Structure 1
């Protein structure tokens, strides 16, 4: 039996004819904790982070984990302990980051719809910077900061109109996207920000999208942002830090994004050439730190042959793994304990009452009911986007550290789903 190259290698790989996360057999975890079950490799997360750290060695740089990718407290704790800052997009994420031990002075607040209450919460916490995404937000943040007797550090998220060559739902840097301030309007917006007494211009921000697998969009965006920094500073407004966002892709299905350290060596060479190499830099990786560190374990419930399709029905569903339904996304699926016989072709589907509830289409699998499958690249945008649709309880999560297993989220119960609801009198 050949063992295929897997997205999680070397940390989630076959050993002794069964899949392991680091030193722990996944079959044992499924038996002990049930399915669906999210399993994360701590070593994989830290290895991905170390590639960025190598790329920025010797530079004045802050790596802020984009926690929307996976906001489980223990995952945040891993990155906080490794010295990361955090990129947040809500007051809830701020509370989570602080609960996990984040340094508020390393937190940046992004997002197009910050409320006054969230601004107040972030100012009180003492975050590093607000990434402001509209001129209307500038005015509101100024009012909130003055009412609090503070000045808010801000950078403007500039939309450079660069095509990231990714799925349209996760493209964020084109003119038709809701994010950021148009490149052509940025100088005027900076001039307005500099005139507002409750604001202090700190930097400039750019984020063009997610699951980017080519370096050209980053190079194009960097050129446009550096041109703008030159223009802003020529107008007498100092830019202290440059935030280049995140968005680096991972291997879902033979994807070959550049390695983080190699990508940033090339980007930093451009910065040096243009005379910006000594600026403070910020980046906001998310998926590339956690995506391939996680798998979702799921049990095969039924095999349902059909005239046009064979279906492999599993106990994980679109509420647990929403990316295929939302983005038509591909996740590699493999048997935790492979069978020697030849496989058949199946659509792998969940039990939710929606035709969109599929996890993989046209997959060759040798499986029987009761077998456990691993859905790969499930560390990002799976548990953080999970829901209770069909009154399904969200899965448990475990973090593997060598031979140790930590339950970092207990399996949700139906009673816990009901907790905030009330019957009529």
Structure 2
């Protein structure tokens, strides 16, 4: 456990998200901007996003779906910052939402309501009313009782709600159990063997218009086989639904494509869709409109979380590197035991040590990386990689910590897209005690 002398820096740390993140003269850059410049200007913890990386990831989907009637709906939950949403809306995307709040964000970002799909298992009547009033493109309905409530709300407004039933195909996505959504034991969707009856029921409700079929089997999927299995199950059902006299305008295959966190090699979006479209054509559904809902694969490798080394704490069994970012900023390790590469912002020749990288929150689960070999000293900046998805969007104020600032980089241009949250921001909605003990 004793720190060892460092060798010369002949090998650069592996960086997910290259070429948009790279080392130049021993310094980490985002596109054409040094990370140290941003950390100095905006402080830490700091999220930095590469707009070029986002658009490059989107172009892979656009290439794969070229010539098809397809709508790519970015999954807002992955990263809901307004500037991120605007990046994708302005590049031609629709949006996939899971709450009334996300609908408000989508509209604020300039999304056409007709290019918004509303997913999620717990839509409230208020959410439904809001979505119907603005005229969203489709509701992905997840239960028979939801059909009843949506029918009731739509009828009260004198409208017909466009619906697609999310079907649970009972396909193993081979991913972490917390982000698997397509198995019988998951809370999502209508069971495959109950779906035809649910379609017949939905078609008989005057407040609903059946327009599609939907599935989503999980997240961080790194191989094509689960998608192909799910497609076969959904197309079997689509055949039965249309044979029952219920036409389907579109097929929605969800999202879930994984990214490189620790050397994973998921298929590229264009390669994946080449395989899926061949299967779709073979099954006779090549003329159907398509909808997909990628999230992580568009933004995950487009982000870094920059943090400062506060203390080096040496113990008998473990050495700890305590940094100023924490589980409230970047919750994935605490929630999923997820791996994020952690690399220095400035490469320096100094002794290395093996550290658990931990934050200042009063929880043993507050860690960002285990057993990382780092040449680090107090005051250094480190970059937590692959931090564009499910980090800022899942952040919290635990321990009365303010949410981090965010910046977006496009070439040499930099925009602060979220100011650092202050304590005053946090208690703005709170009220002091009036009821005396």
Please state which band the TM-score falls in when normalised by the shorter chain.
over 0.9
- 1:9 is aligned to 2:18: yes
Matches within 5 A, 1:349-368: 349-368=358-377
Runs of 5+ unmatched residues, structure 2: 1-8
State how 1:3-82 maps to structure 2 within 5 Å.
3-82=12-91
The separation in 2 between residues aligned to 1:156 and 1:63, in whole angstroms, is: 18
Instruction: Identify the match of residue 314 of structure 1 among 297, 315, 323.
Output: 323
Once the two structures are superposed, the pairs formed by residues 74-113 of structure 1 within 5 Å of their partners are 74-113=83-122
Aligned to 1:345: 354
Q: Which residue of 2 aligns with 1:404?
A: 413
Q: Does 1:369 align with 2:378?
A: yes
List per-residue Cα deviations over 1:203-237 (Å, max 9, x = no partner): 00000000000110000000000000001111111
Q: CA deviation at 1:293?
A: 0.1
Report the counterpart of residue 313 of structure 2 in structure 1. 304
CA distance in 2, matches of 1:292, 1:376: 7
Return structure 1 stretches of 4+ with deviation > 3 angstroms: none
TM-score (structure 1 length as normaliser) = 1.00
1:368 Cα deviation after fit: 0.2
Secondary structure of 2:364's counterpart equals coil
In the TM superposition, what whole-angstrom CA distance separates every residue of 1:178-210 from its partner, at most 9, and x where no partner exists?
A: 000000000000000000000000000000000
* 1:203 counterpart = 2:212: yes
**1:123 partner SS:** helix
Following TM superposition, by how much is the alpha carbon of 1:3 offset from its aligned partner in structure 2, in angstroms?
1.0
State the alpha-carbon separation in 1 of the partners of residues 82 and 190 from structure 2.
32
User: Once the two structures are superposed, what CA deviation does each residue of 1:97-154 show, in whole Å capped at 9, x if it has no partner?
Assistant: 1001111110000000000000000001110000000000000000000000000000
The 5 Å alignment of 1:281-296 reads: 281-296=290-305
Q: State the distance in 2 between where 1:15 and 1:247 align.
A: 33
Q: Secondary structure at the match of 2:73?
A: strand
TM-score, L = length of structure 2: 0.97
Give the distance between the partners of 2:235 and 2:433, measured in 1 at CA: 60
Q: Quick one: distance in 2 between partners of 1:28 and 1:343?
A: 25
Structure 1 residue 245 displacement after superposition: 0.1
Q: Distance in 2 between matches of 1:283 and 1:175?
A: 22
2:13 and 2:343 in contact (8 A); partners too: no
SS at match of 2:165: strand
Superposed displacement of residue 278, structure 1 = 1.1
Helix, strand or coil at the partner of 2:48: strand
Structure 2 CA distance for aligned equivalents of residues 334 and 61 of structure 1: 38
How far did residue 341 of structure 1 move?
2.6
Structure 1 counterpart SS, 2:378:
coil
Partner of 1:151: 160
Match of 2:354, SS?
strand
Q: Out of 220, 244, 248, which is 1:239 matched to?
A: 248
Q: Which residue of 2 aligns with 1:249?
A: 258
Name the Cα RMSD after superposition.
0.5
- Partner residue, 2:428: 419
Q: Distance in 1 between matches of 2:81 and 2:306?
A: 17
Question: How many correspondences in the alignment?
Answer: 425
CA distance in 2, matches of 1:230, 1:262: 26
- 3-state SS of 1:255 partner: coil
Counterparts of 2:113 and 2:29, CA distance in 1: 36
Q: For 1:338 and 1:420, locate their aligned partners in 2 and report how far apart those are by CA, in whole Å.
A: 43
Report the Cα distance in structure 2 between the residues aligned to 1:351 and 1:8, rounded to whole angstroms: 28
User: 8 Å contact 2:350–2:376 — kept in the other structure?
Assistant: no
SS at match of 2:371: strand
Q: Deviations over 1:358-413 (max 9, x none)?
A: 00000000000000000000000000000000000000000001001000000000
1:323 maps to 2:341: no
Aligned to 1:231, the other structure's residue is in SS state helix
Instruction: State the partner residue of 1:167.
Output: 176
Structure 1 SS opposite 2:88? helix
Measured in 1, the distance between the counterparts of 2:375 and 2:228 equals 44
CA distance in 2, matches of 1:95, 1:371: 39
Q: 1:390 is matched with which residue?
A: 399
Among residues 255, 274, 277, which one is paired with 1:265 in the alignment? 274
